[in-house]
A and B are shown apart, each in its own frame.
Chain A
Amino acid sequence: MMDPLLSISNLSVNFKTERGNVQALDGVSLEVNEGETLAIVGESGSGKSVTALSVLGLLGDSGGVSGGDIEFAGESLVNASDEHRREIRGNQIAMIFQEPMSSLNPVLTIGKQVAEPIWQHRNKSWKDAICEAGKLLELVSIPDAQERLGDYPHQFSGGMRQRVMIAMALACQPKLIIADEPTTALDVTVQAQILSLLKNLTTELNSSLVIITHDLGVVARYANRVAVMYGGRIVETASAAELYRNPQHPYTVGLMNSIPTLHGKPGARLNTIIGQPPDLSNLPSGCSFHPRCPFAKPQCMQSKPKLEEIFPNHFRACFGYEG
């Protein structure tokens, strides 16, 4: 088998806050293979965005990697120089955020913003870069793309802005695209169009795609493989088909049972996971899911279960729930 494109091993990330130390990631291990679409699912605060930001080296002043490593195409990113990391970020890894307005500059035209990375990283003249920007906007199905190069972000709808973000992400033909809740703020009809577009374009480029989401429907429709996060750890990973057919971590099982679906029995009581997600500045001992787990045993309160392969290519971190 080929080496993975991205390999995160035992990554821990801490933030210093007024309330004290927040351990946002607690030994995350994750691989992304070439050409695959991986979904990271989990509830808010589970560490999905922090995982993405650490890959890009965007943790800010208060955050830092306190253990583990991130390798991209065989190179360590944690130990790389700032300059080298910036180079990789611009050229080989691109990120798409939930709120495109905050990543677009309100006083620059759309054309200039899309052309900028092409001009900077691909050694093209400004005129060629603008021309390429027009083509990219056509590729992401912006109607009348050439005429709209001179428009400003506020003249675009939320869906159109997210298309612009995709165009910018694709500009340098990156090997890896990370999309953090790219459609959470959009209507379902627009979501379907944006995610299909993203999926088709990355497939054409043979790039890898990481979709971060809390929507188990999105995962089922678009991902090859899934990683489930809880309390700053990965608790289960498997292919999408395997995970839905044969979930093995009690949290994954709880999540699957608690969502209403279009094919389930309507009106019945939903199964719920009792309690609340953990507070990362005050994590429970042992497995952080144990206070909510119907199968918790004494061991779960004392030590942290490691991610282990229980079926081929199916990993979970749990001491013993029999699914």
Chain B
Amino acid sequence: MKADNIIEVRDLKVHFPITEGLLRRQVGILPAVDGVSFDILRGETFSLVGESGCGKSTTALSVLKMQPVTSGTITFNNEDITHHSASQMRPIRRKVQMVYQDPYGSLNPRMKVGSIIGEPLRVHGMAGDKEKYNARIRELMQVVGLMTDMADRYPHEFSGGQRQRICIARAIALDPELIICDEAVSALDVSIQAQVINLLMDLQERLGLTYLFIAHDLSVVRHISNRVAVMYLGRIVEIADRDTLFSQPKHPYTQALLSAVPEADPELEASRQEPLIIGEVPSVRNPPSGCRFHPRCSQSLERCKTQVPMHQTSGSTVLACHLYD
């Protein structure tokens, strides 16, 4: 493993059984993640983008071993964790935390906010004495911009943006190295979203955090990321650093995705071409042969229908497309 890398994922496959009937007889497999490889550099924000159902959350959950892995390897800080048991994962889970889209769904409505934030400390036996524990909770609340006298309130008394701050405070309680943000800002209103994005970026700088950031809003992804991986139907089609990906997208799917994003500027919009993409993502249950994007691709070649494009690496860019063979 390269010293700069915090995570290496190689040829990851997560296949779910498709079952039918009362006896749950298996009638097929659903290749939700099908040969995904990437590295995350320590201290960077690495984003996964792509349409819903392309396997972003499944990939993230496998990194935490919250999802059975079908094949491939996952290495965290030089340690192969692919086959780790739950107890072997415990020390790892301290270093990798997760923040989800729905801050309400992931907060226990009957627990006070202070003890929600302190929960990881108690679970991992790091609460210490009462005074130290309370001081740490106050410190965490301050760091994420919550008033410390709100520790005795319940989640429903907070707004959506504040609840996301509670989740972030809980995620940083154990001084993690990596935080997985799965659509963490997607449900927030524009003005609140900006506050939470700023908070995430501040915390990264202060605490030296690494982010695996999952979002479908490409403007947000461009703002926050160092490098971006684009997924389509369980596979990565392109990885590039932020500026390259947004100014010179190479894969036709990346190009199509970017052309579909409306820009908040009527003058720019008037001079833009029509979105390049047609139709909808086909079902992963029966993925298209060859390059999975070929039925929607405006530039597809004969061999795209039959041959799976190889991942070609040059510098920090990875591309899987026959147009560049």
Chain A residues near B (Cβ < 8 Å): 43-44, 157, 159-160, 187-193, 196, 214-222, 240-241, 244-245, 254-256, 258-264, 266-267, 269-273, 276-277
Contacts and interface: CB of A to CB of B under 8 A. Distances in A.
A40 to B, nearest CB: 15
B263 A220 contact: yes
Contacts of B52: 187
B192 interface: yes
Q: Which of A159, A192, A254 has the most CB of B within 10 A?
A: A192
Contacts of B218: 188, 262
B190 A241 contact: no
B257 interface: yes
B275 A192 contact: yes
Contacts, number: 132
Contacts of A272: 191, 194-195, 198
B269 A261 contact: no
B192 A188 contact: no
Contacts of A222: 262
Q: Is the interface of B mostly helix, strand, loop or mixed?
A: helix
Give the size category of B's interface with A: 35 or more
A191 B195 CA distance: 26
B267 interface: yes
Interface of B: 51-52, 159, 161-162, 189-195, 197-198, 201, 216, 218-220, 222-224, 242-243, 246, 256-269, 274-275, 277-278, 280-281
A221 B190 contact: no
B277 A189 contact: yes
A51 to B, nearest CB: 17
A276 B190 CA distance: 11
Given A217-B261, A270-B194, A261 B219 contact: yes
Contacts of A276: 159, 161-162, 192
Contacts of A258: 190-191, 193-194
A245 B262 CA distance: 17
A269 B201 contact: yes
Contacts of B261: 188, 217, 262
Contacts of A191: 260
Given A43-B191, A272-B195, A189 B264 contact: no
A262 B220 contact: no
Nearest to B283: A157
A220 B264 CA distance: 5
A241 B275 CA distance: 21
Given A157-B280, A187-B216, A241-B266, 13 more contacts: A43-B191, A188-B51, A189-B257, A189-B277, A220-B268, A255-B190, A259-B190, A262-B246, A266-B224, A267-B201, A267-B224, A269-B201, A270-B223
